[in-house]
Structure 1
Amino acid sequence: MAELVYRPVIGAALTMFKALDLRIETKGAENIPRSGGAVLVSNHISYLDFVFSGLAALPQKRLVRFMAKESVFRHRISGPLMRGMKHIPVDRAQGEEAYAHALDSLRSGEIVGVFPEATISQSFTLKSFKSGAARLAQEAGVPLIPMALWGTQRLWTKGRPKDLRRSHIPVTIRVGEPVEAPADQYAGAITRRLRERVQELLEAAQRAYPVRPRDAADTWWVPSHLGGTAPTPAEIREAERSVQNS
């Protein structure tokens, strides 16, 4: 089937990244299968994560169909693009339709991209994983491909102004070996194993990241446990409780 939207969008993204001189380093892309279905699972620290996750599949000549919140598909600019690229809208109040759509895509040999944390982690650490990715892989009989991104939060993340004019920003991507999802195993156990693998990849990406904060004002993108000033998970939970109770 012709990709009348996806490939031009990829071309535009690559052109923009080249103009910005983004230093994108990917290791492990060979772990993404060249054919057949798979669930690509990544951490989530930026609004641009789906773009960089998708780029990691290009060396294998694969396109990824990402599951994304339904509101993105209603936007006057992003909506037509998301639909044209055949991404999968998720209505969190009625997730059954999105699940069935993703399952059909996997069974037809597509790669489906999932962010199991469901929302951007403002602490830039891994949140808990929902089990949907594991259940999809089990039911479709396909592997889970773990991935970690680092540096994307410096371009555009939750609670910070978008800064797509910044140049020379490194983005580090690590793709791990497939995690099998046997149908006879508990999805929660598979999810825990998957999260552990993504955590290992995230730590590897952080160690490999070629720059450190320039000064005290530039530590916002570094997690607190690594000496940065990003809010801790506990601080974020407290802030969310305060908003809910206000």
Structure 2
Amino acid sequence: MLANKMGQLAIRAYTQHVLGMSLVKQADLPEGPKILAANHPTTTDPFYLLAVPEEPLTILITQMAFDAPVFGSYLHAAGHIPVVEGQGREAFEAALARLQAGGTIGVFPEGALSPREGGLGRGHTGAVRLARMADVPIVPIGIHLSRKRVRYVETTYGERTAEARWYTSGPYAMTVGEALWLDGDHEDRPYVRQQTQRLMEHIRGLAAVSRWRLASHSNRLSDSWATASAGSA
């Protein structure tokens, strides 16, 4: 979609020239459809994730973002997928269809923003189930940023209110790991939970790599979303 491609180009320019994002890929992204899976410290993460792949990326984003004036219109035009609370199955089916059509999607396995106090939330199993049903790899991504630069804003659309965390200036780092290929049964619940935990461990480790990369410039090791609450996933 033209709106998706234009949005990616704009985000890529912003992350390079305004945000000053540090993006490191430990391996080339696999060709073809895939799932990009990252931790989620801020509301702006889905948009910065657009800078990672060269091909169009469809992101699963909370419905509240689609309800925002103007911005929501862009999300619809770009073909991103709304996630409505209590109706996750519809988003899951839309994501599966996109993968089966050869597209690449971006997800945040925590299913919500990472804990305010730091660390990662518990991983949901959707990414692993999608990967097995579509027979595509998952690419784990770890994000780190400066918590002092996060702006906390209570956002209300209609009768719904939620906390938004805006992050518009650096430092901000993403580390993209090697693709994970899975071979189990998506209906095998113990297997799916095990692989979800494995995915979250990869994401946590990559977030720590991002943390140390930024720390080498700022020397502020305590300011981390990546390492607090290490046993939370």
Compute the TM-score of the two structures, normalised by the length of structure 1: 0.76
Deviations 1:8-42 (A, max 9, x none): 22333344445536243322361x2232x211100
Structure 1 residue 142 and structure 2 residue 136: aligned?
Answer: yes
Query: Counterpart in 2 of 1:207?
Result: 212
Structure 1 residue 85 and structure 2 residue 92: aligned?
Answer: no
SS in 1 for 2:2: coil
Decide which of 24, 37, 40 is 2:36's aligned counterpart: 40
Structure 1 residue 109 and structure 2 residue 114: aligned?
Answer: no
Query: 2:58, 2:80 within 8 Å by CA — same for their partners in 1?
Result: yes
SS in 1 for 2:111: coil
Query: 2:120, 2:225 within 8 Å by CA — same for their partners in 1?
Result: no
SS in 2 for 1:172: strand
The total of aligned residue pairs comes to 214
Flag structure 1 segments of 5+ consecutive residues without an equivalent. 227-231, 234-246
1:124-163 matches, within 5 Å, as 124-151=118-145, 155-156=149-150, 158=152, 162=166
Q: What is the rounded CA distance, in whole Å, between the counterparts of 2:75 and 2:227 in structure 1?
A: 36
1:1-246 matches, within 5 Å, as 3-20=1-18, 22-28=20-26, 30=28, 32-35=29-32, 37-57=33-53, 61-121=54-114, 122-151=116-145, 155-156=149-150, 158=152, 162=166, 164=168, 166=169, 169-184=170-185, 186-209=191-214, 210-213=217-220, 221-223=223-225
Higher helix share: 1
Query: Counterpart in 2 of 1:229?
Result: none
**% identical aligned pairs:** 23
Query: Counterpart in 1 of 2:161?
Result: none
Residues 1:187 and 1:162: Cα distance change in structure 2 (over 3 Å):
closer
SS in 2 for 1:112: strand
Query: 1:38, 1:142 within 8 Å by CA — same for their partners in 2?
Result: yes
Query: 2:20, 2:172 within 8 Å by CA — same for their partners in 1?
Result: yes
Q: What is the rounded CA distance, in whole Å, between the counterparts of 1:102 and 1:157 in structure 2?
A: 30
Deviations 1:215-238 (A, max 9, x none): xxxx7x435967xxxxx69xxxxx
Residues 1:15 and 1:138: Cα distance change in structure 2 (over 3 Å):
closer
Query: 2:208, 2:227 within 8 Å by CA — same for their partners in 1?
Result: no
Query: 1:28, 1:176 within 8 Å by CA — same for their partners in 2?
Result: yes
Higher strand share: 2
Query: 2:119, 2:225 within 8 Å by CA — same for their partners in 1?
Result: yes
Q: What is the rounded CA distance, in whole Å, between the counterparts of 1:106 and 1:14 in structure 2?
A: 23
Residues 1:189 and 1:147: Cα distance change in structure 2 (over 3 Å):
same
Q: What is the rounded CA distance, in whole Å, between the counterparts of 1:42 and 1:222 in structure 2?
A: 16
Deviations 1:195-223 (A, max 9, x none): 11111111111111121349xxxx7x435
Residues 1:156 and 1:8: Cα distance change in structure 2 (over 3 Å):
farther
Query: 1:46, 1:157 within 8 Å by CA — same for their partners in 2?
Result: no
Compute the TM-score of the two structures, normalised by the length of structure 2: 0.80
The one-letter code sitting in structure 1 at the alignment partner of 2:52 is A
Residues 1:153 and 1:13: Cα distance change in structure 2 (over 3 Å):
farther
Most deviating of 155-164 and 97-106: 155-164
Deviations 1:128-147 (A, max 9, x none): 10001111111111111111
Q: Which has the larger radius of gyration?
A: 1
Residues 1:222 and 1:12: Cα distance change in structure 2 (over 3 Å):
same
Query: Counterpart in 2 of 1:236?
Result: none
Query: Counterpart in 2 of 1:239?
Result: none
SS in 1 for 2:50: helix
Query: 1:34, 1:62 within 8 Å by CA — same for their partners in 2?
Result: no
